[in-house]
Amino acid sequence: MPDDPILQLRQVSKRYPGTLAVDRVDLTVRRGEVHAVMGENGAGKSTLMKILAGSFADYTGIIEVDGRAARISSPAQAKTHGIEMIYQELSLAGPLSVAENVLAGRLPRRGFFLDRRTMVAEGRRYLEQVGLDTHPMQPVEMLSQHEAQLVEIAKALSNDPAVLVMDEPTSALSRAEVKRLFAIIARLKQRGVTIIYISHHLSEVYQIADRITVMRDGRKIATVIPADVDPPTLVEMMIGRPATQAQIERKREPGRKRFRVRNFTRAGFFHDIRFFVRAGEILGIGGLAGAGRTELARGLSGVDPVDSGDMIFDGKYVDPASMRACMRQGIAYLTEDRKRQGLALRLSALTNTANAVHAKRGHLLARRQRKELFSCQAAQLQLHPAQPQRQAAQFSGGNQQKVLLGKWLATAPEVLILDEPTRGVDVGAKKVIHEKVVQLADQGKCVLLISSDLPELAALADRVMIMRKGRFTREMSKVELSENAILLAANADREANPHD
């Protein structure tokens, strides 16, 4: 029975203090379908799904599971209905091992003691399903972000869900991992598992969704079949007006060489990296996850130590051993990992914004200056809601990314190292960020753009360096740049050297 609903929501609402995040939503999810949920940042997607996962006791409206009314007011109750969720903000316990996280709540025991052998074996079995070969006893905090995301997926699968909700599961995954995830989704679907899939990526949604629900401002706009709507129409449904596709204009050509890096090496991570960035140039760094791009960025901004190498900015040496010195000479690093490293989630957006400026200047700003700094960034990046006192954790995912970017822009950097700057932001916000990056370049600043989003690299970068296994293997000029070319270059040397 293809139309047989597994979930039926009637007039479901959820209010946070001051925000009606989900507003009288009616939604039918059919058994065994892949149901995509789309909408702008802050549309209410995560909140709606958290209701299903039992995060809130205070939602209103009716939820029916398998045709029977169910009150889902705790994660345990969601589990009894077979509902599992992979959270946008990963929910893993950092100090615990991968296996303990995956098997949480039903760790194998022998008498009083944990049965370590079984734990390792069980853990490994689930990790294999997602194609991750880290050791099950490894603490989660030692993992990279994309590995943590895979562990999160393994954890949800280990509970054998009937309904699996995935909230932007691919935001930290490489193309190869996305493919693997889609294979897992296909397998789960065959087994009759129902999947609800939140994503900002139109291409992903068209690939895997049977139906798409669009949300806007907490309301459900419609549920449609992908074949019935083309991407521009879908975007229009999300933003409530026709989408415009204006090219971003560059106002000037890159000028003199402003930022130079020579012999940059950190054993095991990157080797003999050399490049320059001109005034007003956007230098892209392409490559596959694990190529060493983030490690390089962390070395260039003084976050991690390097073994050797010179950095010269405007003719002056910058000491990579000191993060403070890097900041003072104008280097800003936007981390790819906003939840774990970028933001102090419990502090207000205002404090987050001011913190980087404080660190750079070495003294505190007056209250009024802090406020001005915040409102200026909030307005530029269209932060929503633009409330300075709101905790970082209480913004939607895409708006947290804007807080993070604003915090670095507030330091008035001269060299911007951007690591996946538009991760998790919606189409509109992405455009705003792209325009901002181009505007900074037009002011003569140097931009290093690390991105796994190939259209983004192709659209913004003047040149792209391809990084592979810790080395720059190729440089591509603006003329050579196209999505396909970047992808091929990132993989090409892999085929050429099958043994390394």
Ligand X SMILES: Nc1ncnc2c1ncn2[C@@H]1O[C@H](COP(=O)(O)OP(=O)(O)OP(=O)(O)O)[C@@H](O)[C@H]1O
Pick what 329 binds: ligand X, Mg ion, none; C-beta below 5 to 8 Å, kind-dependent.
Answer: none
**What backbone torsions phi and psi does residue 263 show, to the nearest 5 degrees?**
50, 35
Pick what 395 binds: Mg ion, ligand X, none; C-beta below 5 to 8 Å, kind-dependent.
Answer: ligand X
Pick what 97 binds: Mg ion, ligand X, none; C-beta below 5 to 8 Å, kind-dependent.
Answer: none
What's the DSSP call for residue 279? Answer: T
State the Cα–Cα distance between residues 159 and 147, nearest whole angstrom: 19
Size of the site for ligand X (CB under 6 A): 20
Task: Please report how close the Cβ of residue 398 comes to Mg ion at its closest, in angstroms.
Answer: 7
Site for ligand X in 454-493 (CB under 6 A): none
Q: Are 189 and 196 in contact (CB under 8 A)?
A: no
DSSP characters over 355-411: HHHHHHHSSPPPHHHHHHHHHHHHHHTT-SS--TTSBGGGS-HHHHHHHHHHHHHTT
Can you give the length of the chain in residues? 500
State the Cα–Cα distance between residues 320 and 500, nearest whole angstrom: 30
DSSP characters over 106-168: ---EETTEE-HHHHHHHHHHHHHHTT--S-TTSBGGGS-HHHHHHHHHHHHHTT--SEEEEES
Residue 476 Cα distances to 140, 238, 284, 292, 415, angstroms: 36, 35, 9, 18, 21
- Judged by CB under 6 A, the stretch of 15-23, 71-79, 120-128, 275-283 that binds ligand X is 15-23
Nearer to ligand X, 190 or 389 (CB): 389
Contact code string over 390-409 relative to ligand X, x by CB under 6 A: ----xxxxxx----------
- Judged by CB under 5 A, the stretch of 94-102, 215-223, 359-367, 392-400 that binds Mg ion is 392-400
Task: Please report how close the Cβ of residue 394 comes to ligand X at its closest, in angstroms.
Answer: 4
Pick what 348 binds: Mg ion, ligand X, none; C-beta below 5 to 8 Å, kind-dependent.
Answer: none
Nearer to ligand X, 12 or 476 (CB): 12
Task: Please report how close the Cβ of residue 344 comes to Mg ion at its closest, in angstroms.
Answer: 20
Nearer to Mg ion, 196 or 417 (CB): 196
> Looking at the DSSP assignment, which residues form a beta bridge with residue 213?
37, 223
Report angle CA 298, 373, 295 to the nearest 5 degrees: 5
Side by side, the strands of the sheet bearing 19-30 are 19-30, 5-16, 60-65, 68-70
Site for ligand X in 70-99 (CB under 6 A): 88
Q: Are 41 and 15 in contact (CB under 8 A)?
A: no
**What backbone torsions phi and psi does residue 202 show, to the nearest 5 degrees?**
-60, -40
Q: Are 446 and 414 in contact (CB under 8 A)?
A: yes
Task: Please report how close the Cβ of residue 430 comes to Mg ion at its closest, in angstroms.
Answer: 15
Q: Are 37 and 197 in contact (CB under 8 A)?
A: yes
Query: In this structure, what token pair is assigned to residue 138?
Result: 């490894």
302-307: long-range pairs with CB below 8 Å, 24+? 302/326, 302/327, 302/331, 303/333, 304/266, 305/266, 306/264, 306/265, 306/266, 307/265, 307/266, 307/267
Contact code string over 420-439 relative to ligand X, x by CB under 6 A: ------x-------------
Nearer to Mg ion, 16 or 317 (CB): 16
Task: Please report how close the Cβ of residue 16 comes to ligand X at its closest, in angstroms.
Answer: 3
Nearer to ligand X, 37 or 446 (CB): 37
Q: CB neighbours (10 Å) of residue 88?
A: 22
Task: Please report how close the Cβ of residue 425 comes to ligand X at its closest, in angstroms.
Answer: 7
Nearer to ligand X, 44 or 284 (CB): 44
Alpha helices in 410-482 (DSSP H): 427-442, 454-460
397 binds Mg ion (CB under 5 A): yes
Q: CB neighbours (10 Å) of residue 380?
A: 17
19 binds ligand X (CB under 6 A): yes
Nearer to ligand X, 50 or 463 (CB): 50
Task: Please report how close the Cβ of residue 198 comes to ligand X at its closest, in angstroms.
Answer: 7
45 binds ligand X (CB under 6 A): yes
- Judged by CB under 5 A, the stretch of 21-29, 72-80, 391-399, 469-477 that binds Mg ion is 391-399
Contact code string over 8-47 relative to Mg ion, x by CB under 5 A: --------------------------------------x-
Task: Please report how close the Cβ of residue 76 comes to ligand X at its closest, in angstroms.
Answer: 21
- Closest-approach residue to Mg ion (CB): 46
Task: Please report how close the Cβ of residue 382 comes to ligand X at its closest, in angstroms.
Answer: 12
Task: Please report how close the Cβ of residue 347 comes to ligand X at its closest, in angstroms.
Answer: 14
Size of the site for Mg ion (CB under 5 A): 3
Residue 216 Cα distances to 38, 113, 204, 238, angstroms: 9, 50, 20, 6
CA atoms within 13 A on the CB side of 29: 27
State the Cα–Cα distance between residues 107 and 96, nearest whole angstrom: 13
Nearer to Mg ion, 425 or 464 (CB): 425
Task: Please report how close the Cβ of residue 247 comes to ligand X at its closest, in angstroms.
Answer: 25
Identified binder of ligand X from the candidate list 4, 11, 16, 187, rule CB under 6 A: 16
Q: What does the binding site for ligand X look like in residue numbers (CB under 6 A)?
A: 16, 19, 21, 39, 41-47, 88, 385, 394-399, 426
Q: What does the binding site for Mg ion look like in residue numbers (CB under 5 A)?
A: 46, 88, 397
